[in-house]
Amino acid sequence: MKSKKSYQSTEEKLIKFLIGKYDKSSTNEVSISQHELPEIGLAEQEVIRTIYLLKEDGMFDVFHQSPHNDFSVFWKLTLKPRCVHYFEDKSKEQHKELKEWLWWGIPTALSIGALVVAIIAL
């Protein structure tokens, strides 16, 4: 049986990794070391760039990092609720968007169908 692979952005790959570490921790502090980079599936510079992007988005705070902006020492992050609940919130948002689309899409389709039938009947 084939497994269904879904596309994940670099941000989502890092968030998924961080949530996995969070789930195994007793606090909201997680660390990333050079040896864990293959597990994330991103190159070192991609991880660093993504950390800074997600930090700017308010997903977590960075309170320990390498002074050389690399993984010569581990990075320590404090995850915020927005990061911890990212996939739950994303799922809720997708469900909300579908519901909104159905809310206007079905009546619109029915109206167009009625208009087409009325035009044909003339």
DSSP letters for 31-87 = EE-GGGHHHHTS-HHHHHHHHHHHHHTTSEEEEE--TTSSSSS-EEEEE-HHHHTHH
What confidence tier does 48 reach under pLDDT thresholds 50, 70, 90? very high
Closest by CA to 30, choosing from 70, 68, 59, 67, is 59
Q: What is the mean pLDDT of residues 45-60?
A: 93
How many Cα atoms are found within 13 Å in the side-chain-facing hemisphere of 65?
15
pTM of the model: 0.69
Q: Which helix (H) or strand (E) holds 62?
A: strand 60-64
So what's the pLDDT on residue 7?
Answer: 59
